Structure 1
Amino acid sequence: MKKIIRLVITGGIIGSFIGFNIAIFCSLFFKTAYFVPSSLYFVLGHSPFAVLISELLWILIGVVFAAANRVFSIEKWSITRQTITHFLITYILFTPIAVACGWFPLNFHYLFWFTVEFIAIYIIIWFGCMIKTKYKINKLNETLKQNK
């Protein structure tokens, strides 16, 4: 139970931090006259309620990705099975949150392009993580060879 609580808190804090900073960046980048906590379609009259709902959605996104990462700690699974399971969990749980955030309307055209973007970003992040992991493994192997 402690692990689940820690996972929810950690994921929520990270999701909130990333979401808030993206919102600040987008508000500055698009030179809005006011802070836009989520998509322009989602902002409800610039109210604190919009910020609260955005915050809860950011927290939920963080929890989804933190929980999905637990798949990679299942040692008896192959990396392929872990990756496919992680992809499916994140895609299935993240997509409705993205719709709730107002990032795209729920129709086939937008869902198709969201899926293409999600897959592309997932592959880029996956390759980055694999390169980082291979680097760590090589570094560890060098250290082990030197200690023999």
Structure 2
Amino acid sequence: MSERFFSSKEAAEITGCSLRQLQYWRERGVVVPPISATGTGRSIYYSRSELAELAVMEYWLSVGLSFEVAARALQALKQKAPDFSAPGVPKRFMLVWNRKRKDFRLEEFEREEAIAFLDKGQPVIPVCLDVIHQQLNNRLDRNNYA
């Protein structure tokens, strides 16, 4: 069974991103799908793993992170968990504010540790990859993309 790829329009519908966001993120090198030269133009198709990357970016932007911080967090996530975009990966992570660097750092989510950070007044932003994958699956099923 071959992997299914999604056009930019489909990727935008599935992830809730705008077409302009997808273009901007490609231009900035954040989520860059392969471009195939077909016909008279160039077609851009996103794999399922790239949909997961888009969904993570959309999530972090929706909770108020700047584009720059969200992009760095996505790169950190790709390094810490290269398989994060594979369906069924139950990993959960959190972004924790680092006062010395004045930036967030990515750590594996541990409830007690998150509470301890919050008790110290340090912001914690969880990212639940299993929830993101479930939402993607629901959208794919609902739109008959599966």
TM-score (norm 2): 0.29
Q: Which has the larger radius of gyration?
A: 1
Higher strand share goes to which structure?
Answer: 2
TM-score (norm 1): 0.29
Higher helix share goes to which structure?
Answer: 1
